[in-house]
């Protein structure tokens, strides 16, 4: 009887100690002191110690692996593929048009140049794509091997999990998740609701209605190019003011802005308080170049004369400062807004305003003539904030504007309609080519288009007429 008890105690204690030892990862042969009842235990740790160092190495290698392939890299390839996907059909369409224009021996030279340029850029894009994917393939091969090795190591480590501790934790996690879902009435089969794009609570841009305003300017039909709108952050007392900049020299330059105390003053053409000069003559240093101008915090932002730079003219102080755009930025009609029939001259840079401030949209050789978006941080001089490369080709776009941190681009559908077809969300980096919102046009061309966060209107300058549209969000 006594003998049996001793044996039992030995077995029991041995298991308990073994378990404790395999959790504690120490390898000792414990000496158990004899109990008062003279019961003797002889314990042996039969487990190998847990290889802590090995686990740490595996963890380090796994995190290196994660760093090697980032979501940004796959996004880069995706953007390039998307760009190609959009531009090949466009090249095809342009070539078809060129063939139609062929009147026997005279090709439309302008179209031919556009096509040659497009072709060169597509080739560049393909080369970049090839070299990028080539690098990623190599990275992928290395990563696959690394992942396989890690898998083997982990399997080896699992053998040490004799207590099923890890498995137990997994089961607990699953149970906890199920419980949470149950409590919150969450049904895992429901797709998560799509967050509103951009960074403001207005929601998704659903539709554009109008025109609300459609009027000649005080200059009648004199100036085809220009822009107008409202200052989203006006100085006190100027809340209802409007501004207009007609390009008075060659459809390219202007050296003043006209100010109006209300919308009806713009429509009846009574400019009070009147003209503010931006530069002494026209054109010269600091002259406004191109139609895509905006007003923000009592300053006019525009493409500086003959430079790849954004100028800021402080209206009350009458000073002009500027910030240069990145190297390779197009100016002097290198990367214009275009449609099939023609390009809008000197529209390389498009200034925009939204809820968060001022933006500039342009194109660079480095990004293959595709749209690039930068924040403009107001100041004297202004500076550039964050920048994003997109896959939308600038010359395939007629205009851009920014609303709630989302860049939108339009294209020409016909004489009666323009379409907001593209968006780039600066919060998620997501691009879409299927926006499909139409703008009803009153005349063929829209030379400038800008969003006003104050009243959620789009202000357009269209063949010397001023037009506005209401933007609806849901």
Ligand X SMILES: *[C@@H]1O[C@H](CO)[C@@H](O)[C@H](O)[C@H]1NC(C)=O
Contacts to ligand X by CB under 6 A: 130-131, 134, 206-207, 209, 366-367, 387-389
- CA–CA separation, 314 and 287 (whole Å): 14
- CA–CA separation, 244 and 466 (whole Å): 9
Are the CB atoms for 449 and 401 separated by under 8 Å? yes
Smallest gap from Cβ 417 to ligand X, in A, equals: 11
Among 446, 401, 414, 397, which Cα is nearest to 224's? 446
The first and second tokens of residue 437, run together, are 């919102």
Smallest gap from Cβ 140 to ligand X, in A, equals: 15
Nearer Cβ to ligand X (209/380):
209
Nearer Cβ to ligand X (253/368):
368
State the DSSP code for 469: E
Smallest gap from Cβ 272 to ligand X, in A, equals: 34
Nearer Cβ to ligand X (57/209):
209
Nearer Cβ to ligand X (136/219):
136
Burial label, 49 (beta-carbon count in 10 A; 0-12, 13-18, 19+): middle
Give the contacts of 331 (CB within 8 A, at least 6 positions apart). Answer: 303, 306, 307, 308, 348, 349
Output the DSSP codes for 68-91.
Answer: HS-HHHHHHHHHHHHHHHHHHHHH
User: Which residue is associated with the tokens 């008062």?
Assistant: 36
- CA–CA separation, 322 and 73 (whole Å): 33
Nearer Cβ to ligand X (25/134):
134
Smallest gap from Cβ 173 to ligand X, in A, equals: 37
Smallest gap from Cβ 207 to ligand X, in A, equals: 4
Nearer Cβ to ligand X (322/329):
329
At 10, is the secondary structure helix, strand, or coil? helix
State the DSSP code for 35: P
Nearer Cβ to ligand X (80/320):
80
Nearer Cβ to ligand X (259/372):
372
Smallest gap from Cβ 388 to ligand X, in A, equals: 6
Smallest gap from Cβ 368 to ligand X, in A, equals: 8
Smallest gap from Cβ 366 to ligand X, in A, equals: 3
Among 286, 290, 332, which Cα is nearest to 313's? 286
Determine the residue with CB nearest ligand X: 366
Smallest gap from Cβ 448 to ligand X, in A, equals: 22
- CA–CA separation, 135 and 92 (whole Å): 30
Are the CB atoms for 41 and 10 separated by under 8 Å? yes
Smallest gap from Cβ 398 to ligand X, in A, equals: 20
Nearer Cβ to ligand X (269/366):
366
Burial label, 195 (beta-carbon count in 10 A; 0-12, 13-18, 19+): exposed
The first and second tokens of residue 356, run together, are 């968060």
The sheet with strand 273-277 has its strands ordered as 226-229, 242-246, 256-260, 273-277
Classify strands 253-254 and 288-296 as parallel, antiparallel or unpaired.
antiparallel
Output the DSSP codes for 194-248.
Answer: PPPSTTSTT--EEEEEEEEEEEEBTTBT--SSEEEE--SSPPTT-TT-EEEEE--
Nearer Cβ to ligand X (172/209):
209
Smallest gap from Cβ 337 to ligand X, in A, equals: 20
Nearer Cβ to ligand X (107/388):
388
């Amino acid at each position: 009887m006594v003998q049996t008890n001793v044996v039992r105690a030995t077995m029991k204690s041995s298991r308990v100690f073994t378990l404790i030892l395999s959790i504690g990862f120490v390898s000792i042969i414990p000496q158990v002191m004899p109990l008062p009842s003279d019961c003797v235990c002889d314990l042996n740790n039969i487990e190998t110690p847990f290889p802590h160092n090995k686990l740490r190495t595996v963890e380090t290698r796994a995190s290196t692996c994660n760093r090697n392939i980032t979501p940004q890299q796959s996004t880069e390839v995706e953007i390039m593929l998307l760009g190609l996907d959009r531009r090949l059909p466009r090249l095809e369409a342009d070539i078809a048009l060129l063939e139609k224009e062929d009147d026997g021996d005279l090709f439309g030279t302008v179209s031919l140049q556009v096509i040659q340029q497009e072709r060169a850029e597509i080739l560049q894009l393909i080369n970049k794509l090839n070299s990028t994917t080539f690098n990623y393939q190599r990275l992928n091969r290395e990563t696959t091997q690394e992942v396989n090795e890690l898998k083997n190591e982990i399997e080896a480590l699992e053998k040490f999990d004799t207590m099923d501790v890890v498995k137990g934790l997994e089961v607990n996690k699953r149970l906890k998740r199920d419980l949470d879902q149950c409590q919150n009435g969450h049904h895992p089969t429901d797709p998560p609701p799509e967050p509103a794009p951009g960074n403001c609570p207005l929601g998704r841009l659903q539709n554009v209605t109008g025109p609300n305003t459609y009027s000649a300017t005080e200059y009648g039909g004199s100036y085809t190019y220009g822009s107008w709108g409202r200052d989203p952050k006006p100085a006190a007392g100027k809340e209802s003011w409007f501004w207009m900049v007609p390009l008075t020299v060659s459809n390219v330059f202007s050296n003043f802005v006209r100010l109006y105390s209300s919308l009806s003053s713009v429509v009846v053409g009574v400019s009070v308080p009147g003209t503010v000069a931006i530069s002494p003559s026209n054109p010269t240093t600091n002259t406004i170049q191109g139609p895509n101008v905006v007003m923000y915090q009592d300053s006019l932002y525009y493409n500086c004369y003959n430079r790849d730079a954004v100028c800021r003219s402080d209206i009350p102080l009458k000073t002009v400062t500027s910030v240069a755009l990145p190297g390779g930025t197009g100016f002097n009609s290198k990367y214009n807004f275009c449609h099939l029939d023609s390009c809008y001259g000197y529209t390389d840079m498009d200034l925009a305003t939204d809820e968060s401030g001022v933006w500039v949209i342009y194109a660079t050789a480095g990004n293959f003539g595709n749209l690039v978006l930068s924040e403009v941080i107001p100041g004297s001089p202004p500076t550039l904030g964050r920048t994003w490369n997109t896959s939308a080709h600038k010359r395939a776009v007629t205009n851009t504007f920014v609303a709630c941190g989302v860049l939108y681009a339009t294209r020409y559908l016909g004489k009666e309609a323009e379409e907001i077809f593209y968006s780039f969300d600066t919060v998620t980096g997501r691009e879409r080519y299927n926006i499909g919102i139409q703008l009803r046009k009153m005349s063929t061309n829209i030379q400038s288009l800008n969003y006003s966060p104050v009243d959620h209107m789009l202000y357009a300058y269209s063949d010397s007429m001023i037009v506005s549209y209401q933007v609806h969000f849901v």
